Amino acid sequence: PVWYQRITSIVAMLMGFNGQMRNQDTVIESEGFLFIPNAHSLQVVGTSSLTHTIEDLSSHKKVQLCKAVLPINFPGQLTSLVNHVVVRGFDWEYGEEGGGAGSLGIILSEEPWAGHPNAAVRVYWLGNKVSGIYRYGYIGQYDVVLATDAITGHEQLVVQNSSLSVRHSSDSVPQSLKFAGHNSLTVNNLPSLHTDYTLQLSIRRQNQVNNEHQCLGQITSSAGWWMRLTVDGKKRLQFYLNTTQLEQTVCPKALDLSSWNQVDLCLFGSYIGIHVNGELCHNFKFTERLKCFEGASTLTLGEALDEAHKSWTGEIRNVRLWDAPMHMGVYYSQIFQRNYNMIDLGKTTPMTLDRLAAQSLKGLPTKNLSGQALEQVSLYRNFTVRNEHSDFASLRPRGVGVLSSACPHGKVYYELKLLSCSCLQLGWSFGNCHIESRDLGIGDCKLSFAVDLCRQSMWNADTIEITEAVWQPGDTLGCLLDWKNGEMMFSLNGRVLINASFKRDENNSMEHQSPRHGSELDGMGALFGLSDGEEEEFYETEEEVVEVIPVEAPIEGPIEAPIEAPIKPEPSDSQPTPNSWVDQGGIFPSGSFLTGDGAIWNLGQRPFEHLPEGYVSVMTAAGVPQNSAVVFEIFDFDEMSWQPVAFRHGVQDINPELLGEWLYSGVSTDSTIIPDTSRYNHDGVLKVAGEWTPDNETSLKLKCRPHFAKTTSEFEMPHRFLPPHSAFDIVHNKENEELVKYVNYVCDQEEWISDTLFTKSWSDIAPSSDALVRWPQLAKLCEQDASALSLRFGILVEFNRSVTLLLNYVSLAADRAPTSLASWIADARGMIFGVVKFELWNAQVVATATPASERTITLSRPKAARSRLLDPNRTNPFALFAQAYRAMTTWSPSAFCSNGSLYKVTFLGENAIDGGGPYRETFTEFCSELLSPQLPLLLPTSNGQHNVGHFRDAYVLHPTAHVHHSGMLTFLGKLFGVAIRTKGFLSLNISQIIWKQLVQDHITLEDLESVDALIVSSMRSIRDIEKNGITQEMFTDYITETFTTLSTDNRIVNLVPNGDTVQVTFDNRHEFVAAIEQYRLHEFDAAVEAVRRGLGMVVPLKYLRLFTWMELESMVCGSPFVDIDLLKKCTEYSSCSATDVHVTWFWGVLEAYSQDARRAFLRFVWGRSRLPRTLHEFQLGQRFKIQAFDRRPADNYMPVSHTCFFSLELPRYTSREVLEARLTYAIYNCQAIDGDGDTMAANQLGWED
C-alpha cells in the first residue's frame, strides 16, 4: 500500500544516513560457503558478468544468478514522471472523475500542491478525455499511482536461510579470443551502422610488438563506406573513416596493454568519442560523417583488410554493440558544454552507461495492463516529445504533412496536448526550413510559422504581438491549414483563435500583415513560399465559419513499421492547384520546445478531441495509414540539418538497443564457431578463426545482505530499503550536517517557517563566494561539483518533508535498540532542519504549559557570602543554589512548567522588589556558583585543568555527584527545563559530552578529546606503539601501567577487578586502551541520567532526541556574548601598538563579526569559546597579547595563534579587506593546535612569564 511505500522511502533515507546498509553487506569474492548468524534470509546481488549457482544449504534448492550488471546500491527510481501511466491510488477521493475505477491516465506534467513544488501531477485520462491535477506525494498522499513497474536495475535472489554456497556455472567461465595475426572474428548482416552506435570491447596484448600499427577491428558497409579502429606503434588508439575521402583521428592517451583495457567507441552525429576504462580520452568531429549512407554492415575483429596495418596479435573479450551513443550525458557536459538531462525540475543526473544498459536490457515491465490498454498507451507514449537538454529543440514528423500540390485534401489538421508550456513555438514549417542558431525555432525563419500563447506572440521571421487566452498544461492546441486558400488558423480546446492566424495576401509576397482584432482572418504574404513576381491561380471560396466537432473513430489494426521516407499520394483525376510551395519541400506540422517543455502529438493516429468540420488529419493528407508508426525529425544544430530523432537528442523516450554481445563461450577451445547472442539472425553462428582461452583473472563479485526480520514475500526485500542517492551515505554526513547548519542560519536570518523553506530552491539561499569561507565543507563541495549543493539541498528538503510523517508512527521518548526506527531517526538528527524540529517542539511545549504561579522564595546572600569566605575552595552548604533547592524540594513538577517566571524572590535584608531583575539575578548567581568549588555538581574538564586542547573553559558533571547529590542534579535538570520554557538562558559552559548524553546521541572519541585530549593521545600512542618501533620485548621498558585510570575528579579507578595488580603488556594493550576509553566516555552516565530526569519533568522528552547537542545547549544557555570592548581593555601589545593601522583594522573586523564568528576567533587564539565575565576575572588570569608578524610580503601569510599564551601574531596587511579575508579563513579552517608543544619557540615570543 501507498502508506507503506512512504514509510519505506523515509526508512531508506535513514538507513543511508546511519550507514545501516553500508555496514551489513558482505562481499563474496570467491566460490565457497557463507554463513551469517541469526539471519532470517540472505539477499544476493551480482555485480559481475558470470553465471553463478546459489544453493540454499537447508533445502538444497539451487538458483541461477546470471549476468547482473549494476552494483547493489543502484536505486530503482524513475528520472521523470511525465508520460507514465497511472491509475487511481489509495487516497483517491474524487468519485467517478477520470472515467471510473480501472481507468488509465497519462501524466502530463508535475505540478505544485498547496505551495509544495512537484507534490502533484496533471493527468490526462484516456477513457473520457478529461484532465485534472491530483496529489502525488503531498504530505504522503497519492491520489494516483504508477501502473508500471520501475526498473530495479540489478539481479538478485533471496535465500530463506542464514547460509548459502556459491559456485561458478561450468559454462560461464569468461573466455578471451586470442589473435595471432592471421585469424579474425566476423559478424555479418548487421543492421546499418551509418548513424549512432557504441562498440565496446576489452583488449590486452602481453607480447612485445615493435612499432607495429595493428588493426583491432573495422565496420564495412554495403553502401561503400568503412570505419576502422587501430592501435599504433605508440600504443595509441586511432580511428579512420572513409566515405568519399579518408579522415582519421588519434587518441593521445597511450594504453597499458599488459593489462585489460575497456575501450568504448561511440559515434554520434558527426562526432566520435573514445573512452578508455570509463574515461573520455578523446573526441573529434568528422566533416564526412554524414555521407555514410544506409546499408547492411559487417563487423570484423582482429584482421587487417589492407596492407597499411597489421592484424591484431593480442586478446579481445566482452564485445558489445549498441545502436546509440551510451555516454551521451558526458558529451553534452564536456564536448557541447551543455547540461544534458539536468533541467531544473528536481531530476537526477544523467544515466551512467551501466544504468542505461540495465534499463535498455530490462525495459519497462508493465503490470495489470491488457494488450488493448498497452496499445492505447503506446499511441500516446510514441508521439510524446519532451525536451530534456538545453537546446530550443525544433521537431516535426517525417513524411507526414502536405507533400505536394497533388494532395486531394485542401484542409488539414493536427493537435498537440500540452505537457509543460513555458516557451513553445508551435505551427508549421516548409521542408526547406533552416534554423540558424540554437536560440531560434519554428517561426523564426521565413519558411515557418508559429504561435506561443504564453508569450502572446506569433512568428513568421518577424514577431507579432497578439491578445489571446494563455494556454496551460493539459490544453489542446489545434492547428488548421487550408493550403489551397492560403489560410492558417489555431484553436485552443476547440475554440478558434481569431487573433492568432495567418493568411496569404493577394500579392503572394513573403511579407505578412499584423493581425486584426475581429472575426476576419488576417493576411500574410506567401504562406506557401511564393517569391515576388510569381503569378499563380488559386481557388477562391467564400469565407466560412469553422465549427469544431469532436470525432470519435476507433483505431483498428496493428501498428505498422515506421515511416522512413515521405509517402506521396497518388495524383487525383482533377488538375492539381498550381502552387510553388512544392519547391520548398512540403509543409509539415512543427514545433519548438524549450528545456523541460513538451507535448503529445496527435497527427490522426488516434481520434481528435476537436476536429473542425471539413478538415482531415495530416496523416490522411499524406496518405499515411492511421496505424502507422511515425518517425520524428529534429533540427540538429551540431549537424545544422534535419536528422531523425535519436537517443542522443534527448527529446523522446528512446532506449538504446543491444545489437549483439559476445562475452564468453562454454565451447571447447578448438572450436571454430561460437554461439551468436545478437538480436539478428546470422545463421546461428559467427565465423571465428582463433582460440578461446579461459580468463583466470576475472574474480567473482557478489554482495550478500542479511535480513534479520521475516517478510511476507521475498519480492519485498530486494530494493525497498536502498538509499535513493549516494549523498545519503554515512560518509557524507559531515557535509550534510554543515549544509543543514547553513540552512538553519538562513532560516533564522529570514525568519522562515518550514512551509516557506520547502518552496525554496538552492538558488534562493545559496551563499556568496565570500560567505563560503565560513562553511568549509560547503566550499569543498562547490570546488568539486557546483551542482552538488543543489542536489544535496533537494534531497534534504525531501527528507525533512517526509520525516514529519514518519514521526506519527514512532515514539522517540522510549529507549529502544540501536536498530530501532526511533534510534535511526534520532541518529539522523543532524539532517533535520531546525525549523522542522522547533515547530514540533514548540507545539509540545505550549501544549504542556501550566499557568504562571505567584510562588515566592527567600534567599540570603549574606549567609552565602559568609560561608564562601570561610573557605572558597570547599562546598558551600548555604550557596544560593542550595538554598533555592531546599526551598523548592516540595514543589510539584507542574510548578516548573510555566512559560513565565518560576517564582518571585525576596533577598533577605535587602529592599529589592522583584519586577524581574532580582529573579534574573538569582539565575546569574546560580551559574556563578555552579562554575566554582562552592557546589559539588560541576568540574572543569581535564583539558581545562591541564591547559591543553580545545574547550578548556568547559565543565563536566562531577562523576560521583549522583551518589550524594542526586536531588541537586535533578533540580539542575529542572532549571534547564525552565530556561528552555522561559528563554531565561543560563550562563553555563558545559562540555559537549554532557549535552550529547542529554539528547541521547552517540558519544565518540572526538567527544572524549574535547574533555581530555591527553588521554586520547596517550591511548592512541599505546594502541599503535609498534609504529614507533617499540617491539614486544621493549614494551615493558616504556610502558609500566596497570589496569587503572585517573577519573576526572582525580580518583584512581580499577578498570578490572584488582586492576592495580594487572600489568599492561604488549598483548593486552588493546584491551587496556578499550577499557580506559569506555570508562572515560561513560563516567558521567549516572549523573547525566539524574539531570535528564529533572529535565523530563519540565519539558516533553518526546522530541528532545531530534535535537543536536549544540541545539540543546543554545536552548538552555543561549548564545554567549563575546564583549570586544572587554577584550580590548585586557590586551597588551608587543612590537606594535594599539594605534597601528593594521591593529585598528583588526579591532574593526572583530567588532563587525557576528557572535558566532567572535567565538570562532576565541577558539582560534585561546582554545575557549567564552571570555571571562568581568574585568576583574580577566585580570586574574591571562591577558590577550598581540605581537607583530614582520615577514614580507605580509599579504602572503596567515595570522598565527598560540593558544597556551592567548596570543596572536598579526601580519601588517596592506588593507583591511586582506586582513579580514585572512583572519576569517584562519578562524574557520585552522583549528589544529600545533605550536603549543614547542616550549622553546613559545618562550622566544617573550611570554614565558
Return the closest-CA partner of residue 1078 out of 1050, 1107, 1053.
1053
Cβ–Cβ < 8 Å for 341, 79: yes
Total residue length of the chain: 1249
The type of residue at 370 is S
Cβ–Cβ < 8 Å for 875, 934: yes
| Helix locations, 731-833, DSSP H | 733-750, 754-758, 762-765, 776-784, 788-806, 821-827
- For residue 777, the SS3 value is helix
SS3 content of the chain, % helix, strand, coil (to 5): 30, 25, 45
Return the closest-CA partner of residue 665 out of 656, 676, 654, 657.
676
Return the closest-CA partner of residue 922 out of 899, 900, 904.
904
Rounded distance, CA 1036 to CA 1064, Å?
8
The secondary structure of 820-847 as a DSSP string is SHHHHHHHTGGGS-HHHHHHHHHHHHHH
Rounded distance, CA 800 to CA 796, Å?
6
The type of residue at 1239 is T
Question: What kind and span of H or E run contains 318?
Answer: strand 315-322
Cβ–Cβ < 8 Å for 901, 915: no
Rounded distance, CA 705 to CA 709, Å?
12
| Degrees, nearest 5: CA angle 599-601-604 | 160
Q: Which are the contacts of 83, defined by CB distance < 8 A and separation ≥ 6?
A: 106, 107, 380, 381, 384, 386, 419, 598, 600, 653
Please name the residue that has the C-alpha cell 528538503: 797
Q: Which residues of 997-1012 are buried (b: 16+ CB within 10 A; e: fewer)?
A: bbbbbebeeebbbbbb
Please name the residue that has the C-alpha cell 477562391: 540
Among residues 292, 704, 927, 1204, the one annotated as catalytic is 1204
Please name the residue that has the C-alpha cell 553487506: 25
Q: Bridge-partner residues for 487, per DSSP?
A: 482, 503
C-alpha cell at 219: 565496420
Helix 776-784 and helix 733-750: axis angle, to 10°?
110
The secondary structure of 54-108 as a DSSP string is EEETTT--EEEEE---S-TT-----S--TT-EEEE-TT--STTTTTSTT--EEEE
C-alpha cell at 154: 540489478
Rounded distance, CA 311 to CA 230, Å?
9
Rounded distance, CA 1159 to CA 1119, Å?
10
C-alpha cell at 897: 512548567
Rounded distance, CA 468 to CA 774, Å?
51
- For residue 724, the SS3 value is coil
The type of residue at 707 is H
Rounded distance, CA 454 to CA 444, Å?
17
Known catalytic membership, residue 1204: yes
| CA distances, 625 to each of 398, 556, 617, 1208 (Å) | 14, 11, 11, 85
Cβ–Cβ < 8 Å for 884, 863: no
Rounded distance, CA 28 to CA 239, Å?
40
- For residue 1107, the SS3 value is coil
The residues that are catalytic are 1204
